[in-house]
């Protein structure tokens, strides 16, 4: 079995010691430009987003200490709880790190969940990305398309999530829906679905650019 590792400090994925580009790195050409935002502000937002992700992960696992959680972070957790309640969410993957064995890139899926949306007769399968920013961006759909490529490349998903199990093999990539869930400090949330069929092709174009730069660096 190949050794897949992730270094938290440097945010670097490796497979058998070889560095793999992350989905975030690959999307550099199309990510929003925050160069005009002061670095201290960007760092504060990054740290807050990281804290919210961790708190929501612990909450999904039933391990969050509400009283010890920062109130601003807790407001976002309350928004995530409201989303789970509203959609009857069953989380089957939580902050799952994966790599693509053929395309040689990696990333961390925020959530894979079964949701029953308003008007649905049956739950459907969703890749979700948790955001603390208010506005959905077109690049988020491309990001989720990259995560979907990672997910559907897994030959044996059973060990990743027993709840997902054998059903994974019968799910086509196109039936896995994509959305971002934007949590805010008021305890509310915004749900945004990404439906552009060109998102996967855009991701593959960004990956080709990344490989070109690697080759000619």
pLDDT, one tens digit per residue, over 48-70 is 999 999 999 999 999 999 999 99
User: Is 185 contained in some domain?
Assistant: yes
Whether 12 is in a domain gets the answer no
Checking if the pLDDT of 202 tops 70, the result is yes
pLDDT digits (tens, 9 = 90+) for 157-166: 544 554 454 4
Average pLDDT over residues 164-181: 70
For the chain, what percent of residues have pLDDT higher than 90?
Answer: 69
Q: What is the mean pLDDT of residues 13-37?
A: 91
Buried b (16+ CB within 10 A) or exposed e, 45-75: eeebbebbbebbbebbeeebeeeebeeebbb
Does residue 9 form part of some domain? Answer: no
Give the model's pLDDT for residue 163: 46
The structure's pTM equals: 0.90
- Nearest partner of 132 among 63, 77, 71, judged by Cα: 77
Residue 61 lies in a domain: yes
Q: Domain tally for the chain?
A: 1
pLDDT of 96 above 50 = yes
User: What is the mean predicted confidence (pLDDT) over 82-106?
Assistant: 93
- Examine residue 178 and state whether it is found in any structural domain, yes or no: yes
Taking all residues of the chain, what is their mean pLDDT, rounded to a whole number? 89
User: Residue 73 sits in which domain range?
Assistant: 23-215
For residue 2, tell me if it sits in a domain. no
- CATH at 79: 3.90.320
**Does residue 3 lie in a domain region?**
no
């Amino acid at each position: 079995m190949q050794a897949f590792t992730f270094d938290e400090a440097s945010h670097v994925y490796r497979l058998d010691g070889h560095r793999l580009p992350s989905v975030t790195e690959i999307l550099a050409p199309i990510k929003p430009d925050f160069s005009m935002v002061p670095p201290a502000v960007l760092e504060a937002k990054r740290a807050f987003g990281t804290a919210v992700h961790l708190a929501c992960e612990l909450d999904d696992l039933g391990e969050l200490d509400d009283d010890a959680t920062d109130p601003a972070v807790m407001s976002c957790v309350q928004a995530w709880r409201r989303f789970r309640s509203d959609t009857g969410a069953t989380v089957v993957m939580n902050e799952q790190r994966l790599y693509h064995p053929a395309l040689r890139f990696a990333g961390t899926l925020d959530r894979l969940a079964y949701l029953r949306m308003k008007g649905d007769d049956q739950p459907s399968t969703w890749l979700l990305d948790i955001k603390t920013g208010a506005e959905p961006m077109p690049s988020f759909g491309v990001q989720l398309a990259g995560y979907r490529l990672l997910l559907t490349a897994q030959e044996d998903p059973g060990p990743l999530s027993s709840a997902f199990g054998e059903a994974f093999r019968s799910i086509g990539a196109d039936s896995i829906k994509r959305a971002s869930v934007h949590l805010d400090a008021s305890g509310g949330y915004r749900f945004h679905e990404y439906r552009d069929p060109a998102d996967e092709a855009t991701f593959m174009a960004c990956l080709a650019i990344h490989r070109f730069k690697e080759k000619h660096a």
